[in-house]
Amino acid sequence: MPVYNTGVFGIGDVAKEYIKAVNNNPLSEVVAVVSRDKKKTEQRIKNWGFSCEVMDSYDDLITRDDIQVIVNTGPHFLHARETIKAARAGKHVVCEKPLGMNWQEICDVRNAINKAKVQFQCGLSLRWSPFIQNLKSLLDKGQFGKLFYMEADYFHGLGSWWNGFSWGGQKRSGGPSASLVAGIHAVDLMRYLCGEVAEVHAYGTHGSREYFEYEPTYMAALQFENGAVGKTSCSFEVESPYLMNFLLHGSRGSVANEKFYFRDLFPGQQGWQTFNTVMPDSGAVSHHPFKTLIDDFIKAIDTNGTTVLNIDEMWKTHELCIAIDRSIETKKAVSLPLETE
């Protein structure tokens, strides 16, 4: 019997994965979704094989006493406003990235979640990628030795084929920067695997697609608090298949995407060996581990625990994205932490 009834705002492709993940957890169920076009949404829900109420008012959704959880998959420019509304209504919230369109909104979301004392989870599901979990396990067990260099890059040529392109792809009014739209995936994994960043110096450019209202390509050099250095980059204008690139060098071993070299762990290793795991090699949301994200979220609600992608942890990831954007804009290095709004 479901304990935590869930309402979903937005009905794009990622909403399908959230609905599936919520319904697959024995403690939760999606009972309502909100979209502007009620008739079209009812047909879409039916085509997906789900059964729930379709509403056309978000305010009516969050005031329902029978709903404890809100999943916010709406357009980027509504993430902060609708998440704050849900928190103030006492609902636990899952919100897709980014949390806000600027530093002020991001700080406002954090303040609202902490004040309401509700559970929060952000949609950066790649932390649960089997490949990333392999890397984290090796790091936690000391197999890398001292990690002193890391790269994480996100390359995905965006175009009109994406149904969110007009509101979340190329316009600042819908997607404020490349880092906040999608580069944040790589940024978050840099923090997760290598630690907090002390300083960033970033450069942005337009390569071949001038219709972006912000630099769709950037590279950021990072100095970590622990002394390590690294690089993270993103491009929406590559002429190639989707690619996430990872390179880690430690005093005892290295990883280059699917290849690893740990001579102490594997005595006699002569060359690269290969991970036998699921790689983060697809931009399709159906490929992303939303089930584990939702399971972690529901468990935190049920046990009064802490989610992996809690609001304070995600605030730090967004802070690094804002620092990258400020460095691109000012053409200067930016130190962290930033002043809070």
* pLDDT at residue 36, rounded to an integer: 87
Query: Has residue 72 got a pLDDT over 90?
Result: yes
Q: How confident is the model at residue 170 (pLDDT cuts 50, 70, 90)?
A: confident
* pLDDT at residue 1, rounded to an integer: 63
Q: How confident is the model at residue 309 (pLDDT cuts 50, 70, 90)?
A: very high
Q: How confident is the model at residue 171 (pLDDT cuts 50, 70, 90)?
A: confident
Query: Has residue 79 got a pLDDT over 70?
Result: yes
Which run of H or E residues covers position 165? Answer: helix 165-168
- How confident is the model over 203-232, as a mean pLDDT? 96
Please tell me the distance from the alpha carbon of residue 297 to that of residue 307, in angstroms, as a whole number.
6
What distance, in Å, lies between the first and last C-alpha atoms of the chain?
42
For residues 23-60, b (16+ Cβ closer than 10 Å) or e, as one string?
Answer: bebeebbbbbbbbeeeeebeebbeeeeeebebbeebee
Please give the DSSP secondary-structure letter assigned to residue 98: P
pLDDT digit string, tens, across residues 32-43? 999 988 999 999
Helices 13-24 and 290-303, interaxial angle, to 10°?
50
Q: How confident is the model at residue 45 (pLDDT cuts 50, 70, 90)?
A: very high
Greatest CA separation found in the chain?
64
Please indicate, yes or no, whether the overall pTM of this predicted structure exceeds 0.85. yes
Query: Has residue 19 got a pLDDT over 70?
Result: yes
Q: Is the pLDDT higher at 165 or at 129? A: 129
- How confident is the model over 52-66, as a mean pLDDT? 97
Domains in the chain (CATH in brackets) are 4-125+289-310 (3.40.50.720), 127-282+317-335 (3.30.360.10)
| β-bridge mates for residue 234, sequence order | 154, 218
What percent of the chain is modeled with pLDDT above 90? Answer: 91
Which run of H or E residues covers position 87? Answer: helix 79-88
Query: Has residue 31 got a pLDDT over 80?
Result: yes
| Mean residue pLDDT across the chain | 96
- How confident is the model over 311-338, as a mean pLDDT? 98
Please tell me the distance from the alpha carbon of residue 3 to that of residue 29, in angstroms, as a whole number.
8
Counting every residue written for the chain, the total comes to 341
Q: How confident is the model at residue 338 (pLDDT cuts 50, 70, 90)?
A: very high
- How confident is the model over 9-36, as a mean pLDDT? 96
3-state secondary structure of 254: strand
* pLDDT at residue 48, rounded to an integer: 96
pLDDT digit string, tens, across residues 247-305? 999 999 999 999 999 999 999 999 999 999 999 999 999 999 999 999 999 999 999 99
